[in-house]
Amino acid sequence: MSESTGRRVTANLSLTLDGRYHGPGGPSDFSMFAPYVTSEVARDQLTRIWEGATTALLGRINAEGFLGYWPTVAEDKNADPRDRGYAKWLADTEKLIFSTTLTEAPWERTRLVNAPVDDVVAELKTTGEGDILANSCPSIIKPLLSADLLDRLYLMIFPEIAGDGQRLFDDGLPSSKWKLTHQETGELGEMAMVYDRVR
C-alpha cells in the first residue's frame, strides 16, 4: 500500500439528543432540526467543517438534496456570507459521489464511485492535500467509523428527542477514544462540538 500523505479524514453530522440524524418520518424528516440550522453557532460550525477540506464525499441522496439547494445560495447576494462561503466551496471542490445507480455525474468537478468507502478513502489519503470531508452523509460516515478511518468529527447536537429514526452510532463499532477540541452552545441550546480521534 502507498504511503499516506497525512490527509485528515473528517465528518460532519447533526444529531438529536437521542443520537438520531433524522426523525420518525424517514430519511427526509428534518423537522426537529429546522429551528437550529440557521443559528449563529450552526453557521459558524458550517464554516469550520469546510475551511480545511479539499475533497467532499457524498452519497447519492444527500448529493441530490444539496444540488437542489446550495447552487442557488452561492449566487444569492442576500444569503448569509457563511452559507455562501460553504455553497461556493461545495461547487468548486472535488466531489466524490458514492452510488450504485447514478450513471453520470450531476455536478461539475464530480466523480462517481461504486466501491467500498474505506478502500476509496485509503487511496485518497495517498495523494493530494487538505481534509477529506464525509459531508453530512451517514451512509459514508458509518463505514468510516467501522474502519476507524475518521480523524475528526464535527457534530451539531440539537436539544430535541426524536424518539425514532436512524442513529449514527450503531452497535458493533470498534471502541475508540476522542478528544473534545471545540465546544460552543447557542441561544437555543444547540451545541457545536469538534472531536479529534486519539490514536
Judge whether 71 and 112 are in contact, CB under 8 Å.
Answer: no
Specify the pTM: 0.93
Same domain for 162 and 141: no
Helix (H, G, I), strand (E, B) or coil at 181: strand
pLDDT for residue 61 is more than 90 = no
Q: What pLDDT is attached to residue 5?
A: 67
Judge whether 64 and 99 are in contact, CB under 8 Å.
Answer: no
Q: Look at residue 23 and tell me if it is in a domain.
A: yes
Same domain for 76 and 31: no
The CATH number of whichever domain residue 125 belongs to comes to 3.40.430.10
pLDDT-based confidence at residue 102 (cuts at 50, 70, 90): confident
Same domain for 73 and 147: yes
Q: Look at residue 196 and tell me if it is in a domain.
A: no
Range of the domain at 27: 17-37+156-166+183-191
Same domain for 161 and 142: no
- Cell 457524498 found at: 58
Torsion over CA: 186, 189, 190, 191 (sign): positive
Q: What pLDDT is attached to residue 107?
A: 82
Q: What pLDDT is attached to residue 160?
A: 96
Q: Look at residue 187 and tell me if it is in a domain.
A: yes
129-188 residue pLDDT tens:
999 999 999 999 999 999 999 999 999 999 999 999 999 999 999 999 999 999 999 999
Same domain for 101 and 26: no
The rounded distance, in Å, linking the Cα atoms of 161 and 133 is: 27
- Cell 478502500 found at: 119
Same domain for 134 and 83: yes
